Amino acid sequence: MQLVDIGANLTHAAFRADLGEVLSRARGHGVAQIVVTGTSVAESRHAADLAEAHGLYATAGVHPHHARECDASTIPGLREIAAHPRVVAIGECGLDFNRNYSPHPDQERWFEAQLELARELGKPAFLHSRDAHPRFAQVVKAHGIEKGVAHCFTGERPELRAYLDLGLHVGITGWICDERRGTHLLELVREIPADRLLVETDAPYLTPRDLHPQPKARRNEPAFLAHVLRAVARARGEDPEALAEATARNARALFGIPA
């Protein structure tokens, strides 16, 4: 099985002590390539450094939680990081009206600025949306973004339809394994066209709840991507090997990653 984890927060402190082992476990479980998520200018720089050091890929962006910390240096900083050949997308960027760590006007302003940067650089957008439908889709549409992924999709059908209509890819995480809040995804995931589907762990977050035994400190890691992939394959009634191949092909095409 050959998998691409399109979203792993490997700059997180949870991986500081044993990143080498985490990466070798990932390879042992079929994860051929990993895109490290950048969530602030500093974290994006760190993500690009990890990508360079370990043969990974990275995104450069500011998560909506951090929108209030943005200033005139943010976009130039991201532009500089994005010039690195292993930085394959702009983001994660978007709107998060669930936690509201940053005021909505700040979130919208810096989301739009990053969409413009993605367009300027011709790179796909790595998009985060939480409880922000339909505003999120309106902003994406207004900026003419057609190349991107709605990462960690957890929404309902109208939101999924909106993203597919926009031409976006959809990233599925271990949320689909959550018997408390993810069961609606078992049905919705069948509606994602095979050429738009991507899989991701969002490690160290979103450890699949049906993983037994649960890992130490419940830390999620890229090696568990095969578990997520199998859950998606079961829900779609498809062969896991074929689905893995399709999602890896989609990821490589979207991000311009060589096989």
> For the chain, what's the residue count?
259
The distance of closest approach from Cβ of residue 61 to Zn ion in the complex, given in angstroms and rounded to an integer, is 10
**CB nearer Zn ion, residue 46 or residue 128:** 128
**CB nearer Zn ion, residue 145 or residue 233:** 145
Residue nearest Zn ion, CB atom distance: 128
Interface positions with Zn ion (CB under 5 A): 128
The distance of closest approach from Cβ of residue 238 to Zn ion in the complex, given in angstroms and rounded to an integer, is 26
* Helices 135-142 & 157-166 angle (0-180, nearest 10): 0
Residue whose tokens read 């200033």: 71
The distance of closest approach from Cβ of residue 195 to Zn ion in the complex, given in angstroms and rounded to an integer, is 23
The distance of closest approach from Cβ of residue 237 to Zn ion in the complex, given in angstroms and rounded to an integer, is 28
The distance of closest approach from Cβ of residue 60 to Zn ion in the complex, given in angstroms and rounded to an integer, is 15
Q: Does residue 160 contact residue 153 with C-beta atoms inside 8 Å? A: yes
**CB nearer Zn ion, residue 123 or residue 128:** 128
The distance of closest approach from Cβ of residue 185 to Zn ion in the complex, given in angstroms and rounded to an integer, is 16
The distance of closest approach from Cβ of residue 64 to Zn ion in the complex, given in angstroms and rounded to an integer, is 9
**CB nearer Zn ion, residue 66 or residue 128:** 128
Two structure tokens written together for 61 = 């962006």
**CB nearer Zn ion, residue 205 or residue 224:** 205
**CB nearer Zn ion, residue 135 or residue 234:** 135
For the residues of 193-222, what is the DSSP string, one character each?
A: -TTTEEE---BTS---TT-SSPPGGG---G
**CB nearer Zn ion, residue 1 or residue 113:** 113
Bridge partners of residue 125, in order along the sequence? 90, 148
* Helices 240-255 & 225-236 angle (0-180, nearest 10): 110
Residues 6+ apart with CB under 8 A from 158: 133, 134
